[in-house]
């Protein structure tokens, strides 16, 4: 069971730590809103990673071939959603900068913690690379005997915990960034930079597929 714990932690950090479009959006969202919203968004990402780990444990080696026919549509859907989020964030930042009467409470009211959780869960779930990653790990870790249910449960929970701890760290960084860059120009600059990065990563997602 200790081996399953270590494997789950390594798998969770392995998929969570590379900074991509979702991580960038998580940091920017927390910076614009609040740590509470960012925490819920982070848990949405971790929930998706945990669900994919569970699917990989249950499905094993059959998952990757099954997802292959729909990988391209999922890539396009992910890119469209990310570009839409980037566009919405850019428009919101510009509107707030031009109408400086907007307050921090207005910022926080634009996305509730529940909406943030659901949005980041949905975005992360559309990434087929995550489930293929976990499926490959499960397949590689199969020995001569099948793992017991407790070991599988420990693997999934450890992967969720690892992903959650990293995403919460990113959210905390976003909250700190939001406190440091409190001026209108600082908020506008960070929002537009994050939007540009998200669009660039969405384009890379389509080019590299």
Phi then psi dihedrals of residue 93, to 5 deg: -65, -40
* Residue 92 CB contacts under 8 Å (≥ 6 apart), including other chains: 32, 110, 191
Instruction: Kindly report the pTM of this predicted structure.
Output: 0.67
Q: Could you give the CA distance from residue 81 to residue 126 in angstroms, rounded to a whole number?
A: 10
Residue 134 CB neighbours (<10 A): 29
CA atoms lying within 13 Å on the CB side of residue 32: 32
pLDDT tens per residue across span 46-70:
999 898 888 777 765 455 566 566 6
pLDDT tens per residue across span 172-204:
988 887 666 545 676 677 667 767 766 776 676
Higher-pLDDT residue of 78 and 5 is 5
Give the model's pLDDT for residue 4. Answer: 76
Give the model's pLDDT for residue 104. Answer: 46
Q: Burial letters for 75-103: b for 16+ Cβ neighbours within 10 Å, e otherwise?
A: beebbebbbebbeebbebbeebbeeeebe
pLDDT tens per residue across span 84-108:
767 877 787 788 777 754 444 444 4
């Amino acid at each position: 069971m200790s081996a399953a714990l270590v494997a789950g932690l390594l798998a969770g950090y392995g998929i969570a730590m590379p900074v991509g479009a979702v991580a960038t959006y998580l940091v920017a969202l927390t910076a614009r809103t609040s740590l509470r919203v960012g925490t819920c968004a982070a848990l949405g990402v971790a929930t998706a990673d945990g669900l994919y780990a569970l699917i990989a444990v249950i499905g094993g080696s059959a998952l990757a071939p099954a997802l292959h026919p729909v990988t391209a549509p999922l890539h396009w859907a992910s890119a469209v959603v990310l570009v839409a989020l980037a566009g919405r964030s850019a428009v919101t930042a510009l509107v707030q900068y031009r109408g400086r009467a907007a307050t921090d409470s207005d910022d926080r009211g634009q996305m509730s913690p529940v909406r943030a959780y659901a949005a980041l869960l949905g975005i992360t779930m559309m990434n087929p690379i995550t489930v293929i990653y976990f499926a490959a790990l499960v397949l590689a870790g199969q020995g001569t005997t099948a793992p017991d249910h407790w070991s599988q449960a420990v693997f999934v929970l450890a992967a969720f915990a690892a992903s959650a701890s990293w995403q919460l760290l990113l959210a905390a960084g976003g909250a700190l960034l939001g406190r440091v860059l409190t001026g209108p120009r600082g908020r506008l600059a960070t929002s537009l930079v994050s939007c540009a990065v998200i669009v660039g990563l969405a384009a890379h997602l389509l080019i590299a597929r």
